[in-house]
Amino acid sequence: MKYLKTLMNGTEYPSGWKPQENITEDLPFYITRTKNHMIPVYLKISQRGTKRLTYVKKIQGDIWLMEKKLLEFLQREEIRPIRSQVNELARHICFHGDYVNAIKYYLMKNNL
């Protein structure tokens, strides 16, 4: 049990997962983690695998600023413009394309 206790007290784990920071007061937006402490970014594949939509859910704060920052980050790698849709009432952003790993990287890098 000694090994388990030392592992649980760390800030980074071998899998690359790290707990969410509690520094949310000064940020204009942040993302609430799921009940399993995962980042709520999902990929929906439809129309026999030809349509891919990336959803970022559980957004708190200025959702429009978050969309702008994510688009700036994603657009650096893309040649074509990235389409997005903001739903303020449902608190999520939908990006047309498979950007799950890139968005999760951005959120982990910025401690969101």
pLDDT digits (tens, 9 = 90+) for 83-97: 999 999 999 999 999
Q: Where are the domains of the chain?
A: 21-109
How far out from the chain centre does Cα 64 lie? Answer: 15
pLDDT in tens, 27-82: 788 888 888 888 999 999 999 989 999 999 999 989 999 999 999 999 998 889 99
Pair of tokens at residue 104: 């999760």
Question: Phi and psi of 47, rounded to 5°?
Answer: 55, 55
**8, pLDDT greater than 60:** no
pLDDT at 36: 85
Confidence at residue 6, expressed as pLDDT on a 0 to 100 scale: 57
Which residues are 45's β-sheet partners? Answer: 52
Spatial distance between the Cα atoms of 16 and 12, rounded to a whole number of angstroms: 7
> Within the chain, what is the greatest distance between any pair of CA atoms?
52
Kindly state the tokens that stand for 39: 């980042």
pLDDT, position 100: 95
Fold held by 21-109: Translation Initiation Factor Eif1 (3.30.780)
